[in-house]
Amino acid sequence: MKIFKFERGNAYAELCAQSGMLSGKVAITTKMWTSSDGDRTFFAITGHVVADEWKRKSFIMRFANVPLPSTNESIAKVILDCLSYFEVEKKLSTITFDSYTADQELINILVDKLSGNESLFRGKLFRLPCFAHTLNLIVQDGFDVIRHVIEKIRDSIVFWTSSPERETEFWKAACELGVSTTTKLVLDHRLSWSSTYLMLQDSFVLKDVFFLLGKQKSEYKSFPSKEEWNLAREVCNKLKFLFKKTEILAECHIKFGLSEWLESEFPVIKEMASKMVDKFDRYWFVARDFLGVASVFHHKYRFVTLKFYSSKFYGNEAESEVEKIRQIFIDFYNEYKSSLPGYLWMKMKPMMMMWTLQSPPQATHLGCYAKR
């Protein structure tokens, strides 16, 4: 507790200094979880600011035990008390919840209590769902299809690593089959989907060894069948796309990929994709304005990429979607303009005006960017 209070004091000094800059804003992210015994609910708040030289700094602002049963009012009180302590109620720009399912009543309470905050984001760009949490839910739909296979692989790894003698026997069988690999028998971290994905990929390399030993050793009964290995590989081939896209946070590409899976010839993949698309669409419904405005800030492409992807996503409604983002961007532009002293605005005006232009870059550049 002493360490927490010390770090919180440092965060207070730094956060107040950064948010005190001209037009400085503070964004917060939240995380809630329940203890393993189900008796306590914890809530963490992290603050983020853009400091000097456009470097992001993050601080733990609050770590609280929310009384059960936790309600929207109790959660809102923790958030509002935290903002008040750090004196950033009027500097808050956005809040990111760990799920797209955050109760709208909670959002309404916060917006109402923060009525003194004149930032336009309260109404248009205030609540942002967590992409990482949404992606985890999507991947779990894939794992649900092969949950029984995953458990068999975990049991197999536990069985063959339970003693040095068994592990030696396992690798001896691998040598007999000519399996040469640096892969090791390592269990996944159940709370990390990427860890489970990597465990599955490693197990594919050793599947023949598991299968052989399943026939030779009577007490080893948890090896997957050939059909189960094939199903697991088919699902993992799909999840590989998501694993790669998380490295560049390519939401647009993920949306395209999930839509293509709906056309799969395998019913189990189509059903899996349907659940994934439903979750992603709920995330996209809330986050698309954020992503649209962010894309406009690309110094080279501005509104061009927005128009390109809108035509793919929204069809005949693409033009109205682009116009909506344009208006939000103009509002942001005007709000930022009004927050600066006149002499600073005259210096920054040429740069800000650049983003309102619509002259497209060369087609070859756009093609390369869209492809990437």
Q: Which runs of E-coded beta strand occur in 284-358?
A: none
> Residue 344 — pLDDT band, cuts 50, 70, 90?
low
pLDDT of residue 36: 76
Has residue 7 got a pLDDT over 90? no
pTM for this predicted structure? 0.76
For all residues of the chain together, what is the average pLDDT? Answer: 80
Neighbours of 228 (CB within 10 A): 16
pLDDT of residue 255: 80
pLDDT of residue 61: 87
> Residue 17 — pLDDT band, cuts 50, 70, 90?
low
- Output the six-digit token pair for 65: 């035990």
Domains of the chain: 2-129 (3.30.420), 135-278 (no CATH), 297-371 (no CATH)
Neighbours of 147 (CB within 10 A): 11
d(CA 28, CA 24): 14
Q: Say how far residue 161 (Cα) sits from the centre of its chain.
A: 34
User: pLDDT of 277-295, one tens digit each?
Assistant: 999 888 888 888 888 888 8
> Residue 118 — pLDDT band, cuts 50, 70, 90?
low
User: pLDDT of 138-174, one tens digit each?
Assistant: 999 999 999 999 999 999 999 999 999 999 999 999 9
Has residue 122 got a pLDDT over 60? no
Least Cα distance to 66 among 84, 83, 46, 43 occurs for 43
The stretch 229-247 carries a mean pLDDT of 85
d(CA 254, CA 260): 10
> Residue 360 — pLDDT band, cuts 50, 70, 90?
very low
